[in-house]
Amino acid sequence: MRVYISKYRDHWISPYTILDYAFFWTDWSKHSRDKSIRGLDTKYIEHPDWVERWSDYLTPVSNAIQWVLDCVHPKIDYVKIDYWDTWSMDSTLSPIILPMLKQLKASKHGSPHVDDEDVPEHLRSTAAPAKENDWDIDSNHFVRWDWVMSEMIFAFECKVDDSWEDAFRSGDHDITWIPVDKDGNEVPKGEHKYYQMGKGPKDTYQCDYEGLEAVEKRIQNGFRLFGKYYQALWD
């Protein structure tokens, strides 16, 4: 897999920007660039007629500049998929998705609507204090999205590194192969039809299957939330 995606590039240079710097000595220009300049009236100053007129003349120039810069420095969106990338596509994508989720959670500036059914009861809107206005968000609005993102991250962390399963397993395997007939009954070797796997005398392996299943359910729910709120993954 090869992926090259560049930052969004905005090559538009407004005609007003060109005029602003070309006529830097005018009050209109100084005011538009810095409204905090002392000695100038800080109220809004409308564009003079000549600015609007020249802006129309310069618009084709701005378009031409944008076209040239778009050609010289285009946005790069290059993705090459090798045939082995889809052997286990979920495993291939997980190490890419995980750091993106972590960065988004750390840098996000907002939160989407999260359904109450997707979070624990104490985070639901019904558990929050009454809102002053109907259009206000409840006090748990942002906390719900943080919780959902944490569950997504947990799911992908477990997918990337499955060593979490070790906490539910202990001991060692001692496997023996028991000769059996077609009905599964143990028979002397040589008279057998099949072999049945069994535990040897030194087998000490134990597994907390209930605990393992509980974590698996949490992982699956994290993936479900990732799919449901996929279009909310923006900053």
What residue spans define the domains of the chain? 2-77, 88-169+208-232
In this predicted structure, the answer to whether residue 179 has a pLDDT above a threshold of 80 is yes
Q: Closest Cα partner for 231 from 95, 93, 113?
A: 113
Mean pLDDT in residue range 4-23: 84
The pLDDT of 132-142, averaged and rounded, is 91
What pLDDT is stored for residue 17 in this prediction?
Answer: 86
- The fraction of the chain above a pLDDT of 90, given in percent, is 54
Q: What gap in Å lies between CA 32 and CA 52, rounded to an integer? A: 14
User: Would you state the pLDDT for residue 39?
Assistant: 46
Task: Identify the pLDDT of residue 52.
Answer: 84
Quickly state the pLDDT bin for 235 (edges 50, 70, 90).
confident
Lowest mean pLDDT among 11-25, 32-46, 74-88, 126-140: 32-46
What is the predicted pLDDT for the residue at 32?
56
What band does 40 get if pLDDT is binned at 50, 70 and 90? Answer: very low
Is the entire prediction scored with pTM above 0.75?
A: no
Residue 182's pLDDT is 85
Amino acid at site 182: K
Question: How far apart, in whole angstroms, are the C-alpha atoms of residue 63 and residue 69?
Answer: 10
Closest CA to 119 of 234, 225, 215: 225
Region 205-225 average pLDDT: 97
pLDDT at position 118: 98
Confidence of residue 46 (pLDDT cuts 50, 70, 90): low
